[in-house]
A = this chain, B = another copy of it.
């Protein structure tokens, strides 16, 4: 009934982080709270790190008002290809970027970026046309307003892109907690304060009930 759903596979996937530059985030992103957006971007980045997925970074005019890539991303992925595009708006129009993807040999692309309607939507739709399976990390991508984001996400969904938040991506990659309970727990709780509270309460209860022993 559906030929649409496919699961992200950690052996087939590469993460593309497009234009997470300090100026663009500061000046243009208004569909997520500031704290929330940074947390989401770093959560996606740390997910990539945790699963050892290849990561490709790209920027648009980083020597100018758009600003440099978030420093945390630079530090987290010191060896990742970083394509400073000399002018192409759609990263897919940049040969080095496409080549970097091809060199990974992966066919599933996880894309996030700023702004959603341009820096994410253009390469995402281009990649679908080029035969890739494309997954957009919706909450690690930001833009001018909720209305703009909605239009862009609708365009992508109708164009064959799958929409997922970072947490779904992490869970789809992990598949089974037993692959690394400790590691995966640390990954997600470090980006989900709500989950940290649960752990705190659980440990508190542990102290309460173990005390008599």
Give me the interface of A with B, judged by CB distance under 8 Å: 1-2, 4-5, 7, 22-28, 30-39, 60-68, 70-71, 86-90, 93, 115, 117-118, 121-122, 125-126, 128-129, 131, 133, 138-139, 144-148, 150-155, 157-160, 162-165, 167-168, 171-172, 174-179, 181, 192-210, 213
Distance of A179 Cα from B198 Cα, bound (Å): 29
Distance of A131 Cα from B3 Cα, bound (Å): 11
| CB atoms of A193 and B35 under 8 A apart | yes
Distance of A37 Cα from B38 Cα, bound (Å): 15
Contact residue among B7, B25, B36, B162 (Cβ-Cβ distance under 8 Å from A33): B36
Q: How far is the CB of A80 from chain B (nearest CB, A)?
A: 18
10 A-B residue pairings within 8 Å (CB atoms): A2-B160, A23-B201, A23-B202, A26-B27, A35-B35, A87-B178, A88-B176, A144-B194, A152-B168, A198-B201
Classify the secondary structure of A's interface with B.
helix
| CB atoms of A198 and B26 under 8 A apart | yes
Residues of B contacting A201 in the complex (Cβ-Cβ under 8 angstroms): 22-23, 26, 65, 67-68, 198, 201-202, 205
Contact residue among B70, B197, B205 (Cβ-Cβ distance under 8 Å from A25): B197
